[in-house]
Amino acid sequence: EMIEHCLNCYGKQYTNEAGKVFYALNEDEVCKSNALMLLRNAVKFNLSEFEEVWQQSVPEGMSTRLDQLE
């Protein structure tokens, strides 16, 4: 149930011809969500330090960019 909720919040659902359901995560949404979580708990962050911690917080293969925060 929790995994399905996360997939619905941060992904897009696809159904193939056989009726099997697949999800694709939206990289921008995942990165933005992680950034907001990091910033919510921070008192003060140096930009380069934030960018490094942010990149480490997202799944492997995803890339963080400042424009994802717009």
pLDDT reading at 50 higher than 90 = yes
pLDDT reading at 42 higher than 90 = no
> How many independent structural domains does the chain possess?
1
pLDDT reading at 4 higher than 90 = no
pLDDT reading at 30 higher than 90 = yes
Q: Could you tell me the CA-to-CA distances from 33 to 15, 19, 26, 29, 51 in Å, in that order?
A: 25, 30, 11, 6, 14
The pTM (predicted TM-score) of the whole model is 0.81
Range of the domain at 46: 2-69
d(CA 59, CA 39): 18
